[in-house]
Amino acid sequence: MRRKEIWSAVFISFIASFATLTAYLSALQNGFVNFDDNVYVYKNAAISTLDWGFIKDSFFGFYYLNWHPLTMISYAVDYSLWGLDPFGYHLTNIVLHSINTFLVGILACMLLKAEGTPRPPLFTYVSVAVAALLFGLHPVHVESVAWISERKDVLSGLFFLLAIIAYIRYSSSTCKALYYSASLLFSFLALISKPMAVTLPLVLLILDYYPLKRQPSLKAIVEKIPFALLALLSTVMTLSAQTAASSFTSSLWERALVSIRAYVFYLKKMALPLDFAPFYPIAPLPELFSPAYLIPLLVCCALAAFCVIKRETRIYPAVFAFYLITLVPVIGIVQISTHLAADRYMYLPSLGPFMLAGIGTAWLAALFNKRRHIVLIPTLAILVSLAFVSKRQIHVWEDSISLWSHEIEQYPSVYLAYNNRAVAFTEEGHYTQAIEDLQKSINLAPDFIPAYINLGDAYRKIGRKETAAEVYSAGLQVHPDNAELLFERGLTYNNMGEFAMAAGDFTAVLTHGFHIEASIYRAAALIKLGDLQRAADDLSAVLKADPQNALAHYGMAEVYFKSGNAELASYHRGRATALGYR
């Protein structure tokens, strides 16, 4: 491949990157959504302090059942620059995705060069352009880019691509130590951004098979060991973080069927980019042996047979293996959610099919030769259409209400969608709509605790305290010992003036262990009931645990005032005021 051809491919990659950046500009007008953005960003006080303590906690602790320290650090960097303006967070995601699009073009060029088959420059240009533009513009990636919480996809993708590029350079360069070290470093950065990069050692073996065509050797295995050790570390950390997350129990055979369906589901989404949703629910187990699961099994068998037949043409087995392997961490064999699939899981696995599509388009264009416009014009039309579909999908992620309304249109039986839309309605003061959604959520999932809590909160906000208490009681019939439901009902009883019942609920909460808020509010109820000594005991326990608690100081002031100790009452009232109590 001549230098001019390489630089032309670089320029094409840059154009694809710029086109991607332009296509996603409308995402800059989007806000946060209450689908993990609240947990990771706008209600996460931890990211407000970018210091060594935060960095240490990011690496040596878990956050929200995940271990991706570099992603958390990136949020803290954004916070230091933008505060809680979603514009900056969206900008970072878009820029990262645009850079990744550029790298996909570069990688496509390097793979063609490494493969070594003499081809006309136009073949390279078409392959690079189609692969990069598909990666950049395809709506299957909108979730990874337009959703702030999926920063881990675009950040991990950046280093995953760089690790592969450095490895290809290592295979042919005289500066082997430099490129090997760079690939290993990028692998580490990819893993601490998102553990889905654990498949990288196997991906490197696939590259050895095609297009590098390296001979099998002990050296080729040994050089992957450091990558495998990093992947093992990431796997251990991730499994430790997510041990408590497993909620879907089924046989290995059933999970295998779900996984096979997901493999074909993703291929369908790439070929027919329609009906995207943030949540694809798993079908009930009795339906697992329906055509919806058995047909994908036949499709996978057919693809595997095709790759065996075409094994002399290594590209097909390589792409198929890449696709299968890169999806393994999220495909469902180890099931940790009730998702059938998620668009975000395709960010890296889509590389193989998109690269193959680029080569296929170039091959067709070469086949038609002087009439190649018969291939290139429809290809351009498809790419433009994908950009328009992506733009429409970007608007779905505009805010929480638009996101969950879209989910409900696609899958009306997803209880989580009604609950989350209700939370957004409540925040905007639309309590009637919120109550309707929460009632639907409870009807769909009577054991879903957050819906009871949110419904009770909505009723409290419109002054219907008795109804709120009834909602919490209904939840407690399903989960009799749930501390959160007991706490919320206790607050409601306090507001209703039912202090004995409130104290009883807070006492039940405290049987689960020490709870600062429950202790404070039980003390408030006990003060109203005249049990000053028990109230003082509760407040003393709180102040021992948290000497700067303004509410506890104020409660203690009230205890001393009612006990006739004006001096201590004045002291604690002064402390409460100094600590911000109003």
pLDDT (average), residues 34-57? 94
Q: Is the pLDDT of residue 1 over 90?
A: no
pLDDT (average), residues 106-119? 93
At CB < 8 A and 24+ separation, what contacts does 418-422 make? 418/444, 418/451, 419/448, 419/450, 419/451, 419/454, 420/34, 420/35, 422/451, 422/454, 422/455, 422/458
Q: Which of 312, 83, 60 is nearest to 209 (CA)?
A: 312
The answer to whether the predicted template modeling score (pTM) of the entire model surpasses 0.85 is: yes
What distance in Å separates the CA atoms of residue 86 and residue 440, rounded to the nearest whole number?
30
Give the homologous superfamily in CATH for domain 402-578: Tetratricopeptide repeat domain (1.25.40.10)
pLDDT confidence band for 53 (50 / 70 / 90)? very high
The pLDDT tens digits for 190-216 are 999 999 999 999 999 999 999 999 988
Contact, 96 vs 158, CB < 8 A? yes
What pLDDT score does 286 carry?
A: 46
Give the three-class secondary structure for 64.
coil
- pLDDT more than 70, % of the chain: 95
Structure-token pair, residue 391: 């733009």
Mean pLDDT, the chain, as a whole number?
Answer: 93
What pLDDT score does 283 carry?
A: 66
Burial class (CB in 10 A: 0-12, 13-18, 19+), 118: exposed
Question: What are the two backbone dihedrals, phi and then psi, of residue 113, each rounded to the nearest 5 degrees?
Answer: -65, -40
Q: Is the pLDDT of residue 337 over 60?
A: no
Range(s) within the chain of domains with CATH label 1.25.40.10 = 402-578
Q: Within a 10 A sphere around the Cβ of 318, how many other Cβ atoms?
A: 21
DSSP 278: S
Q: Which residue has the higher pLDDT, 70 or 307?
A: 70
Burial class (CB in 10 A: 0-12, 13-18, 19+), 156: buried
pLDDT (average), residues 135-140? 98
Q: Is the pLDDT of residue 142 over 50?
A: yes
pLDDT confidence band for 336 (50 / 70 / 90)? very low
pLDDT (average), residues 453-482? 97
Q: Which of 497, 496, 517, 449 is nearest to 506 (CA)?
A: 517
- Cα 20 to its chain centre, rounded Å, is 21
Q: Is the pLDDT of residue 492 over 80?
A: yes
Contact, 179 vs 169, CB < 8 A? yes
The pLDDT tens digits for 375-398 are 999 999 999 999 999 999 999 999
